[in-house]
Amino acid sequence: MTAKSLPVIAALAVTALAGCAGGQSSQSPGDTRFVAGDGKVQVFPVAERHKAPAIEGATIDGATEKVAAGNVYVLNFWASWCAPCRAEAPVLKDIAAKTKASGVQFVGINFKDLQASAQAYDRTVQPGYPSIFDKTGKVLLSFQGTVPPAAIPSTLIIDKQGRIAGRALGGVKYNELLSAVTKVSDE
């Protein structure tokens, strides 16, 4: 390694980490570029909600998970290598347990990850809900043209009619996510 290569390596490292959420950036609903986020939950007015795509896939443990209209779902896009994903895990786990009795279902979407790493992370965190293993980003890309997740982590709230009711870019905050999920669940 030469002294000339160090600035290039540093620039590449910063670029690679930019996809992992940190600060806030603006984005239009159909934009699929990764941006940093601050974890704030945006709940969309009912008249402005887009239909969520069909979501089905193999979980990190090999079962099949399917998201269907009729329930409120919270989809969390994560990867085992993402520090903000690890930081928000206790928040998601607690809210999932707290809202389960009211019919809210949480589903993780693990992508850009190794299956063994995702499984190890899941064994450690024990979130209490399944995660679809989406190494290629197929589930993520299915949201293109609606309200795609755009940071790691990202969280989407799907209403009972199967529409995208809310989105958070970046690590979620407990009270804000609980309030948004409760609001959508009570509709």
Q: Specify whether the CB–CB gap between 139 and 27 falls below 8 A.
A: no
Number of Cβ within 10 Å of residue 85's Cβ equals 25
Give the model's pLDDT for residue 183.
96
Cα–Cα distance, 100 to 111 (Å, whole number): 24
Rounded distance between C-alpha atoms, residue 128 and residue 184, angstroms? 21
For the segment 136-144, the average pLDDT, to the nearest whole number, is 87
* CB distance 120 to 56 below 8 Å: no
70 versus 145: the higher-pLDDT residue is 70
Whether 126 has a pLDDT exceeding 60, the answer reads yes
Q: What is d(CA 169, CA 186) in angstroms, rounded to the nearest whole number?
A: 23
Task: Report yes or no: 55 and 67 within 8 Å, Cβ to Cβ.
Answer: yes
Question: What pTM did the predictor assign?
Answer: 0.79
- Express each pLDDT in 10-49 by its tens digit: 333 333 333 444 433 333 444 444 445 667 888 999 999 9
Residues 91, 82: Cα–Cα separation, whole Å? 15
